[in-house]
Structure 1
Amino acid sequence: MDEKLMRKRKWQSTIFLIIIIVIAYLSADITNFNILHGIATLPAALGWIISNLFITQESLERLPDILVKLNETIFMSIAATTTGAVVSIFLGLMGSKTTRVNSFFSSLSRFIASVSRNIPVVAWALILLLSFGQNSVTGYLALFVGTVGFLTRAFIESIDEASQSSVEALRATGATYFHIVHKAVIPQCLPQMISWILFMIETNIRSATLVGILTGTGIGFIFDLYYKTRDYNTVALITFSIVIAVIIIELISNYIRKVIL
């Protein structure tokens, strides 16, 4: 019986692999993508990067302006994440099977999370751009909507995975809904929620660069400006600044996770 089951799984894996290969081949054929040509052009691409993307003394003089825009991007990402997290907590409580008020609000919460999460942040920026124009509000709202979608889903799963014993014990004593949430649910889920919030801050800083190109704000705007003027030395400095900032934020987040988890 075990041998037949293993043979069946092997055939399923083989068929699945063949399907993936066929889909990949058809996709390359439809898009006229030639992997051999792509590999052949790698040395030339690396050579261009080495010869053009390097930091000079002239580009370093623009560092103060770059840091101002970088700080704008970081703080906008933090603001969008924290405010989005507050909304996500309420939606998560309504959407979770453990703490839902009724099936209607539970379904509504999950629907909001699904729509917000499945539309990319860049697409949200394009949609909001039509209403709010090129400004920091558009960038903030795009990151906010994306954050609400992701964190609501993450919080729902975190609450669902919480221990039911303390919740049932409080219900048996006649505790109110808010007492159950405050005393049983939030204390158990808080470390995991903080971890998700920190992860979302890192993600939003990366996304904010692309959003800034569309909305004309933050580090994305200044990157696009110097890229279009072919000032590749300044582009290299901006890219290096973004990488360093993301690494620092990630190190801080990892340290906080080790402390709270």
Structure 2
Amino acid sequence: MQSDFFLKKRLRSIIVLAIIVMITYGAMIITQYNIVEGFTSIPEAIFWGFSNFYPDQDSLRNLPSILDKLLETIFMSIASSSIAAIFALFFAIFGSKTTSLNGVLSVISRGIATLFRNIDVAAWSMILLFSFGQSSLTGFFALFFVSFGFLTRAFTETIDEVGSGAVEALEATGAQYFPVIIHSVIPASIPQIISWILFMIETNIRSATLVGILTGTGIGFSFDLYYKSLNYNSASLVVITIILSILLIELVSNYVRRVIL
């Protein structure tokens, strides 16, 4: 009996794998992608990158303006993450099974978070372009909506992990709803909440580059401008500053996590 179960499971795995291979092969035919040419072009692409994609003396003159755009992107990422966290905390409290006032409100809160989370930041950027045009506000709201959806889900799970024991204990003493939230749920959840906010800031700085290309703002716009004008040396400098800033912010956030967790 057990051997038949594993045999059927292996057969299903083989069928799924065969379907994936067929879909992949069909996609290659439709897109006219040649896998041999794709892999053989890698050495040529690497050689071109080392030959053209590096900062030179002329590109360093653009460093002050690049740093200004980088700071704009970082501040926008921090602002969108922080403000989204405030709204997300309220929705998470109402959506959590531990602190929800009623089932309908919990479903609505979780549904709104799911909607905002599952629309990609690039899609939000293109949607908001119709309303706000190419501006920093477009980039801010695109990052805000995605951050709100993600953080609501993360905060909800964090609050659920606190457990209903502490909440029930305070309610048994006659404590009202909001004192329970303020004195029990939030203090117990705050370290993990801060960790999620730091993670969201890191993610938004990476996403803000793409958002900037689409909305014409921040460091993404600088990269797009230099790349399209064939100024590859300045474009490479933009990439280097982005990488260094992400690594620095990650080091800082990891240190903060070690302190608070």
Q: TM-score range by the shorter chain?
A: over 0.9
TM-score w.r.t. structure 2 length?
Answer: 0.95
Other-structure match for 1:254: 254
Other-structure match for 1:71: 71
Secondary structure of 2:230's partner? coil
Secondary structure of 2:192's partner? helix
CA–CA distance in structure 2, aligned partners of residues 186 and 253 of structure 1: 21
Q: Give a deviation string over 1:42-92, Cα, whole Å, max 9, x none.
A: 111111111110111111111111101100000000000000000000011
Aligned residues: 261
What pairs up with 1:1-261 in 2 under 5 angstroms?
1-261=1-261
Segment drifting more, 78-87 vs 220-229: 220-229
Segment drifting more, 169-178 vs 10-19: 10-19
Question: Residue 212 of structure 2 contacts residue 220 of structure 2 at CA under 8 Å; is this kept in 1?
Answer: yes
Question: Residue 98 of structure 2 contacts residue 163 of structure 2 at CA under 8 Å; is this kept in 1?
Answer: no
CA–CA distance in structure 2, aligned partners of residues 113 and 82 of structure 1: 16
CA–CA distance in structure 2, aligned partners of residues 143 and 95 of structure 1: 22
CA–CA distance in structure 2, aligned partners of residues 36 and 200 of structure 1: 39
* RMSD (CA atoms): 1.4
* Partner AA of 1:53 in structure 2: F
Q: How far off its partner does 1:196 sit?
A: 1.1
Task: Structure 1: give runs of 5+ residues left out of the alignment.
Answer: none
Q: Give a deviation string over 1:210-236, Cα, whole Å, max 9, x none.
A: 111122111111111111110000001
Tell me: CA distance 1:31–1:174, structure 2 relative to 1, closer, same or farther (3 Å).
Answer: farther
Secondary structure of 1:12's partner? helix
CA–CA distance in structure 2, aligned partners of residues 29 and 187 of structure 1: 57
Q: How far off its partner does 1:171 sit?
A: 1.7
Q: How far off its partner does 1:164 sit?
A: 2.0
Q: How far off its partner does 1:32 sit?
A: 2.2
Segment drifting more, 8-17 vs 81-90: 8-17
Question: Residue 116 of structure 2 contacts residue 148 of structure 2 at CA under 8 Å; is this kept in 1?
Answer: yes
Tell me: CA distance 1:9–1:258, structure 2 relative to 1, closer, same or farther (3 Å).
Answer: farther
Q: How far off its partner does 1:13 sit?
A: 3.0
Q: How far off its partner does 1:202 sit?
A: 0.6
* Partner AA of 2:248 in structure 1: I
Q: How far off its partner does 1:242 sit?
A: 0.4
CA–CA distance in structure 2, aligned partners of residues 152 and 137 of structure 1: 22
CA–CA distance in structure 1, aligned partners of residues 199 and 27 of structure 2: 33
CA–CA distance in structure 2, aligned partners of residues 12 and 189 of structure 1: 42
* Partner AA of 2:69 in structure 1: K
Segment drifting more, 99-108 vs 121-130: 99-108
Q: Give a deviation string over 1:141-181, Cα, whole Å, max 9, x none.
A: 11101100111111111112222211111121121111221
Q: How far off its partner does 1:257 sit?
A: 1.1
CA–CA distance in structure 1, aligned partners of residues 185 and 26 of structure 2: 49
* Partner AA of 1:47 in structure 2: F
* Partner AA of 1:141 in structure 2: F
Q: Give a deviation string over 1:80-122, Cα, whole Å, max 9, x none.
A: 0000000000011111111111222212211211111111111
Tell me: CA distance 1:2–1:188, structure 2 relative to 1, closer, same or farther (3 Å).
Answer: farther
